[in-house]
Amino acid sequence: MRKIPTLFIRNPDDRRYVLPDVSPGCDWVVEGEGHATRKWDGTCMRLDEAGDWWARREVKPGKTPPSGYLLIGEDPITGKKVGWEPIGGSPFVKYHAEALTSSTTGISGTYELIGPKINGNLDGFDQHILVRHGWAPFSVRQDYAAAPLDYDGLRAWLHARPYEGIVWHRSPGDPNTEMVKIKRKDFPAAQ
């Protein structure tokens, strides 16, 4: 798990938003390469090959990582460490346990934990569930396949939908594939 680059560069005067310029290395998305998937608004979990669950965890500069922490990388701009902590030490352990009773899991990989107590539950779920990254209902997959790839088109498209955003996978099915994301909140409100 590495930090996924944002499709458009951040506005240096207001880093909440992006500018119409494509981020370096992300040109393949606007050229039509890759597969668009739904970005769920939850928290990332990982089921490893041994059957152990991990929660994504960022550690701020100067803070001590939790016990058993697996460092993946460090953001050179913010100094935050990014990695995995064993699910047993995560503040999401209770919601994860609930999600396991109502979700189909078993394939190693990453999942999004979503539900009533996660990030304001923007999707309105009644219970906590785990959604495998890249999965969405068929109608949503069709909608994503028709998403525009330009700044103005994406901004209008995302502001007209309830989705958090899009993640493009350069080689779908490859766990080491390049990915690029954009979120609705990355764009200023439609004018």
Using an 8 Å Cβ cutoff, are 115 and 41 in contact? no
CB atoms under 10 Å from CB of 138, counted, come to 7
* Rounded mean pLDDT, 77-83: 87
Write out the H or E segment, with its range, that includes residue 120: none
Is pTM beyond 0.85? Reply is no
- Partners of residue 54 on adjacent β-strands: 46, 86
CB atoms under 10 Å from CB of 24, counted, come to 8
Q: pLDDT of 54-77, one tens digit each? A: 999 999 999 999 999 999 888 887
pLDDT classification of 1: cutoffs 50, 70, 90:
low
Q: pLDDT of 87-131, one tens digit each? A: 999 999 999 999 998 877 778 888 889 999 998 888 889 999 998
DSSP 150: S
CB atoms under 10 Å from CB of 75, counted, come to 12
